[in-house]
């Protein structure tokens, strides 16, 4: 593995460790809902502070179940990852093409 690839792998491992450590250390223990979303907690805090507050608008479309919602989140991530992969694929192909052309050019002249 090149030095570059090693650094990149290390970066990924660090990110994975940061995500897994809170789970492994059980930091969600003692909570009513371990590892709930912060957005939802903020909503709960609002209703707790201002029990009289009524949301005055509701979403036009709401995923009918947690499964459908997670599917749509996965779709969002997949779309993004797909475009990113396409970008790096195109770039790699162009570089290889340029290299091949450069290697072939001297032969064509002689």
Partner 1 sequence: MHIAEGFLPPLHAAAWGVASAPFVVHGARALTREVKANPESTLLLGASGAFTFVLSALKIPSVTGSCSHPTGTGLGAILFRPPVMAVLGTVTLLFQALLLAHGGLTTLGANVFSMAVAGPWAGYGVYRLLKKSDVPLMVSVFFGAFFADLVTYCVTSVQLALAFPDPAGGVAGALAKFGGIFALTQLPLAVSEGLLTVLVMRLLMQSSKADLIRLGVAKLTASREATAR
Cα–Cα dist 104/43, whole Å: 63
Q: Decide if residue 1 touches partner 1 (CB under 8 A).
A: no
Give the shortest CB-91-to-partner 1 separation in angstroms. Answer: 4
Residues 68-97 that bind partner 1 (CB under 8 A): 69, 72-74, 76-77, 79-84, 87-88, 90-92, 95
Q: Which residues of 74-85 are buried (b: 16+ CB within 10 A; e: fewer)?
A: eeeeeeeeeeee
Q: Decide if residue 37 touches partner 1 (CB under 8 A).
A: yes
Q: Specify the residue, 35 or 108, whose C-beta has the smaller distance to partner 1.
A: 35
Cα–Cα dist 91/8, whole Å: 18
């Amino acid at each position: 593995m090149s030095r570059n690839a090693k650094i990149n792998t290390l970066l990924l491992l660090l990110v994975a460790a940061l995500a897994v450590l809170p789970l492994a250390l059980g930091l969600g223990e003692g909570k009513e809902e371990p590892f709930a979303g912060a957005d939802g907690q903020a909503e709960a805090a609002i209703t707790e502070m201002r029990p009289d507050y009524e949301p005055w608008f509701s979403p036009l479309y709401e995923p009918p179940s947690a499964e459908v919602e997670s599917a749509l989140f996965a779709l969002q991530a997949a779309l993004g990852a797909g475009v990113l992969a396409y970008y790096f694929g195109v770039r790699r192909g162009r570089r290889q093409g340029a290299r091949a052309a450069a290697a072939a050019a001297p032969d064509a002249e002689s």
